[in-house]
Amino acid sequence: MVYSLEIKNLRSGIEQKEILKGVDLTIKPKEVHALMGRNGSGKSTLAQTLMGSPTYKVLEGSAKIFGKDILELETTERAKTGLFLSFQYPSEIPGVKVYSFLRMIYNKSHEAKLSPRMFREFLEKKIEVLEMDPSFSDRFLNEGFSGGEKKRMEMLQMLMLEPKVIILDEVDSGLDIDAIKVVSRAVNYLIEEHNSSVLLITHYSRILNYIKPDFVHIMLDGKIVKTGGEEVASHLEEYGYSDSELDVPVLKNEE
Amino acid sequence: MKNNQLKDIRETYATKFGFNMPEAPFSKAQMGLSEDVVREISKNKGEPEWMLEYRLKAYEAFKQKPMPSWGADLSHIDLQNIYYYIKPTGAEKRTWEDVPENIKTTFDRLGVPQAEREYLSGVKAQYDSEVVYSSLMDELEEEGVIFLSTDEALRKHPEIFKEYFGKVIPYADNKFSALNSAVWSGGSFVYIPKGVSVKRPLQAYFRINAQNMGQFERTLIIAEEGSFAHYVEGCTAPVYSSDSLHAAVVEVIVKPGARFRYTTIQNWSDNVYNLVTKRARVEKDAVMEWVDGNLGSKVTMKYPSCYLIGEGARGEVLSIAYASKGQHQDAGAKMIHAAPNTSSSIVSKSVSLRGGRTSYRGLVDVALSAPNARARVECDALILDSISATDTFPTMRINESSANVEHEATVSKIGEEKLFYLMSRGLTESEAMGLIVSGFIEPIVRELPMEYAVELNRLIELEMEGSVG
């Protein structure tokens, strides 16, 4: 079976400090895996390591997208395999208009190019889906955006790229319930229409009401310590991470 | 990141701009500078006696003044190894067909005739020492607009010429204004009558062709009350192993309520010393805007200035400098507030890479006679690698307590985080860098005429061909 994402014994860190201490995770097409855990447990490190952040160094293990090992690839090449990361803190790029940036990444990621008019129409539809103001496309990329606007901007880029493997790093933080619904709609659209799979990193189970997880994983000190269904998230919501229930043996992912 | 892959915008210079044509001068002064050379230039032009005297006084001042040592390194200029006057052709032409073949081919390759057809009100083309071609739209001529080479203006409009020439920048202002005043040749004379608004830009293109050439054009602009015009100049030269010198003087008089914009895209080859004095006198409620792009040359020292002498006058400078290997761009601006309620703004952006060096050098002076002055200075430098450098030399002389002066300066490197973010969207590292650089200079590029903005962005090499149309 070829997995969308297959991670084996992944260890990574900053310089000498190990943060990920052996992560195993497999995700099939159309599956949604929620990854929960305290601050500092290594969730974002996993996301950044997979995308190839220069901050983190891989120490051991492998990560494959559709059977292709990505850990040796430049970030650009990883993106080309269909991997997408919605950043927790997206960078601001002054002077670069959203419209021309989106057109650039669309054309780079699609064989069939769209004429300027067709692209404009395509973009307008996506902007509507995300309930964004059309004037967004004339602003500079993320510059002066509020936290919520940045998250929508990440979703808009995701809709341009139509990625196969989506990592959402706390896409719900700082969003009200209406915004969470909007974001979820965009993600669910890609799952349905493009068979995308999702690794959803979050602190709160709230978003899981709108993006239904097939599995919920709990991360603790750089490792996945528990895997289950939605009930794991509801348990967490009720008792928090300090509950001793977490000490139950890790459940295996069903093949 | 593993390596710096940003394409140097000057890599293609040699083929695009750096070509040369065989020299076939109509006449050429002997090499080096002497009183005889100064007299010969004046005689060749058939000038009135007062101009010869002016030149000779300027030559004396030039000899007495020391080389400026406070800025870029000028110690390698060999002033005796330069031709001070090369006349390429008999007389200025009114149609491109009449321009000698080699010269016409040069300007064709640089796209000057095409630009003229598409979006300009008038054109001047200077080749070495003389303007070889000029044109102006008929309707502007009928409205009384004058757009001539400075030499021709001296012949045709001696009164107005004498009234303004050398008044904004006295010959003894600095060593290179003195040199220009002694040996000046060519340049543009622009006169915009009262209330006339010139919609499309007037353009001058300065081309050095000969080796060891010194180009000393002299530009004089008068914008009468309530008028508006936009003047654009471009400059390129062949790539030679020996140095050339470009020392222009540009004087602008902006009368009450007028607005004048002067845009320069300087793209000399990197064997050219570019030492230019540019100054505007800005009268009551008038606006002067300098848009100053320095991409080329070996060394540039240029600080466009506004003397705000009328109440409510405003001056603006937008400056962009790009320094690659072997280049030092020492650029900036000067704002002299000498009347009440005057305002000024200086925005400077510089990019240095591959060992290039940029310096911002600026002055804001608020005189005691200038209450309620407002001045804003913003200078941002972007350094693309560890072997390049930038420095900032801002001077503020504020003698008036009611002045409101702001100064902001930033120096930044391209952060790995930004590159990583853009690369995660599928851009290559060089595309990501190009995008960040073009975003950095965007505030200035958007002020350029469209054709120049397009060209500049292309120069910055986004490598987006095929991906963005």
Is A53 part of any domain? Answer: yes
What value does the mean pLDDT take over residues A129-135? 92
The DSSP 8-state label assigned to residue B94 in this structure reads S
Q: For residue A83, what pLDDT band results from cuts at 50, 70 and 90?
A: very high
When divided into structural domains, chain A yields a total of: 1
Its pTM stands at 0.84
How far is residue A195's CA from residue B322's CA, in Å, rounded to a whole number? 47
Best mutation site among A57, A93, A160 for testing chain B: the one with the most B CBs within 10 Å?
A: A93
What value does the mean pLDDT take over residues A113-118? 90
Res A26: pLDDT = 97
The reply to whether A54 touches chain B by the CB within 8 Å rule is yes
Q: Decide if pLDDT at B24 tops 70.
A: yes
Interchain contact, B443 vs A79, CB within 8 Å = no
Q: Decide if pLDDT at B199 tops 70.
A: yes
The reply to whether A109 touches chain B by the CB within 8 Å rule is yes
Res B26: pLDDT = 87
Cβ neighbours of B468 in A, within 8 Å: 100, 103-104, 107
Judged by CB atoms within 8 Å, which residues 358-417 of B form the interface with A?
Answer: 415-417
How far is residue B348's CA from residue B292's CA, in Å, rounded to a whole number? 9
Interchain contact, B439 vs A93, CB within 8 Å = yes
Interchain contact, A95 vs B418, CB within 8 Å = no
The distance of A252 to chain B (nearest Cα, Å) reads 31
The distance of A123 to chain B (nearest Cα, Å) reads 15
Res B254: pLDDT = 98
pLDDT in tens, B315-346: 999 999 999 999 999 999 999 999 999 999 99
The reply to whether B117 touches chain A by the CB within 8 Å rule is no
Res B448: pLDDT = 79
How far is residue B452's CA from residue B469's CA, in Å, rounded to a whole number? 17
Domain ranges, ordered by start, for chain B: 13-302, 417-469
The distance of B291 to chain A (nearest Cα, Å) reads 18
Q: For residue A246, what pLDDT band results from cuts at 50, 70 and 90?
A: low
The distance of A51 to chain B (nearest Cα, Å) reads 7
**What ipTM was assigned to the predicted interfaces of this complex?**
0.94
Q: Decide if pLDDT at B462 tops 50.
A: no
Give B401: exposed, middle or buried? Use CB within 10 Å, 0-12, 13-18, 19+: exposed
Q: Name which of B440, B442, B464 is nearest A104 (Cβ-Cβ).
A: B464
Give A253: exposed, middle or buried? Use CB within 10 Å, 0-12, 13-18, 19+: middle
Res A233: pLDDT = 83
What are the angstrom distances between the C-alpha of B450 and each of B10, B94, B120, B335?
Answer: 21, 26, 12, 27
Lowest-confidence range among A168-182, B88-102, B246-260, B332-346? B88-102
Please name every residue paired with B205 in a beta bridge, in sequence order, or none if there are none.
B125, B234
The distance of A95 to chain B (nearest Cα, Å) reads 4
What value does the mean pLDDT take over residues A140-165? 96
Q: Decide if pLDDT at B453 tops 80.
A: no
A203 is in which domain, residue-wise? 5-91+166-247
Res A28: pLDDT = 97
Lowest-confidence range among A237-251, B92-106, B196-210, B383-397? A237-251
Q: Name which of A54, A80, A157 is nearest B416 (Cβ-Cβ).
A: A54
* Phi/psi of residue B2, nearest 5 degrees: -65, -50
Res B458: pLDDT = 61
Stronger pLDDT, B140 or A113, i.e. the higher one: B140
The reply to whether B425 touches chain A by the CB within 8 Å rule is yes
Q: Decide if pLDDT at B211 tops 70.
A: yes
**Mean pLDDT taken over chain B:** 91
